[in-house]
Structure 1
C-alpha cells in the first residue's frame, strides 16, 4: 500500500496498511482519530489489571475492554491481532517476541484493554503553538521508567512510565492547560523540569522510543504513559501477556474530540 501523508489516512486504511506489513510509530497518523495502547491478558488476570487501571487512572485510562477471546472492540472495527504495526509478547515478564502479527500467540481466553494515548492531544498542542519535537524529527516519542511506583492491584505492580516532550518555558502553562482537558488520554503532565526528580538519569537514553533534542529555553515536560501496564508486566511477571510495541498504537474509530472536556 502506498501512503503519501499518514495524517490523512483513515483508521480503516491505516489498519489495512499495518495488516499488510507497514511497521512504523503511529504519532501523526490519522489526524483527528484517537490512538490507544493495547494490553491483552488471560481472563483470570483481567480483574487484577482492571483494578490496577482503576487505581492508576493517569497512567492507565481505559477506553474499551473486550470480552474474552474477542479481537475487535466497540471503538476498534478491526483485528487487534493484526491491525497494529508491531506487538510485544511476554511470558513470565520476559519479552519473547516482537512481531507485526500475534495470531500465532493468540489465546481464546485473552481480554484486550485499550488504554488512552497522549498522541490524542498532540494536534491540540500544535494548534496552540506548542512544538512536538518527535513529530518534527519524524521519530518515536521518548518514554522513561520512573522511580514512582504505581498503586498495586492483586499480583500486579510496577513503575510509572512517562512520555516526554520538550516545551519552551513560556508555553508550559499552555501545554498544561490544553492537555488537562484530555483526562481520558493521560491529561495534564505529572512533572515539569528536572528529570532526576523522576529517577531519570539521562534523557538521551529513553527506555522506550527515541531520544529528542531539548533546546535552550525549553523544559522537559512529562506525561503519564500507557506503556505503564507493560512495565508492570515486566516487574510482576505474570505467565502471559501481549502488548503493543511502544509508540506503535491501535488507531481506533473514535474521534479525538470525543475525549475533550469543557
Structure 2
C-alpha cells in the first residue's frame, strides 16, 4: 500500500504533484493551505439536463456559487483549470447524492462516471487564505490543522428551476484591528466568494452555536478577535440535495480540487457558457 502523505508533506508539493498524489491514493485529507497561489475549487457534478438551470442559479447567486469552469458533458477534464486533470480521481474526497440523500463518501468516482455528467467548478475561499497568510493575518483552521467550520444560515437564495435554498457560510476569527484589511484582501477575489457577508453575532445569520458547525470542525476564537463570515461553496451541495436529483456528486467539505491557474485569475462568465455549448 502506498504511503499516505501528511498535510505538512502535501504542502511542499506543486498543484500537479498534489493531484497525482490524490489520484494515486496517497492523500485524502483537507486541502486548506496547499498549493499556495493556485486556485482551489468546489465541485458540482450533475446530469447535463439539469446543468442549464444550475448555471442560471449560480448566475443569480454569485457570492456562494462563483463559476470558474464547466466541462462538456461526459468530459473528465476542464482544460482551462489544468491540462493534467481527471475529475474522477483528483479530489481527496467526494460525496455522492442520490434522489436528494447522501448515499456515500468516497475517494474516487470513476466507477460511477456517466457520459452525460457535467462538472461545474466553483471558486473556494481557500484561495484568499493564501493572501491572508502572506499578509500575516492568522487563519485559525490552518493553524489547528482542521477543516474550516461551515454553518447553515437563514439567508435565502434566488431560485432557478429546481434549485433553491439558504446559504452556507464559513467562519474565520480575525484580530479586531485587521478586520478591514481582511475585508479588503478577500474582496479582491470575487471568484472566491469575495468579501465577508457579515461579522460578529452569529444569531443574525441564524447560527445557534459557533462551537457546533454543520460541517468542518470548530476553531478557537481568542480575546480581541471578531468572527467573520464568508459565503461558502458548500451552499450548492445543499441546493443540489434539496433538488432531489437522481444523481449528483460534490467534493466533501474542505476537500477541494486544486487547479493549476493562479488564484488571482478572474474567470470570464463567457468561458463557461461557450464551454457548455452556448453561443
| TM over 0.5, shorter chain | yes
Tell me, yes or no, if the aligned pair for 2:68 and 2:191 is still in contact at 8 Å.
Answer: yes
Tell me, yes or no, if the aligned pair for 1:151 and 1:157 is still in contact at 8 Å.
Answer: yes
**Equivalent residue number for residue 29 of structure 2:** 24
Question: Which sections of structure 2, spanning at least 5 residues, go unmatched?
Answer: 268-279
**Equivalent residue number for residue 48 of structure 2:** 43
1:120-174: CA deviations, max 9, x gaps? 0111112222110001001110111111111100011111011110011111111
Tell me, yes or no, if the aligned pair for 2:189 and 2:264 is still in contact at 8 Å.
Answer: no
1:185 aligns with 2:192: yes
Deviates more, 1:217-226 or 1:2-11: 2-11
Tell me, yes or no, if the aligned pair for 1:8 and 1:31 is still in contact at 8 Å.
Answer: no
The number of residue pairs the alignment matches comes to: 260
1:148-205: CA deviations, max 9, x gaps? 1111000111110111100111111110011011111100001111100110001111
Tell me, yes or no, if the aligned pair for 1:158 and 1:236 is still in contact at 8 Å.
Answer: no
1:16-35: CA deviations, max 9, x gaps? 11112221000011111111
Calculate the TM-score normalised by the size of structure 2.
0.90
**Equivalent residue number for residue 113 of structure 1:** 120
The structure 1 segments of at least 4 consecutive aligned residues displaced by more than 4 Å after TM superposition are 1-4
1:94 and 1:131 mapped to 2: Cα distance?
36
Once the two structures are TM-superposed, the CA of residue 61 in structure 1 deviates from its matched residue by: 0.4
**Equivalent residue number for residue 130 of structure 2:** 123
Deviates more, 1:3-12 or 1:213-222: 3-12
Tell me, yes or no, if the aligned pair for 1:185 and 1:259 is still in contact at 8 Å.
Answer: no
Calculate the TM-score normalised by the size of structure 1.
0.96
1:258 is paired with a residue of what secondary structure? coil
- Alignment of structure 1 residues 1-262 onto 2, 5 Å: 3=5, 5-21=9-25, 22-74=27-79, 75-76=81-82, 77-259=84-266
Question: Which sections of structure 1, spanning at least 5 residues, go unmatched?
Answer: none
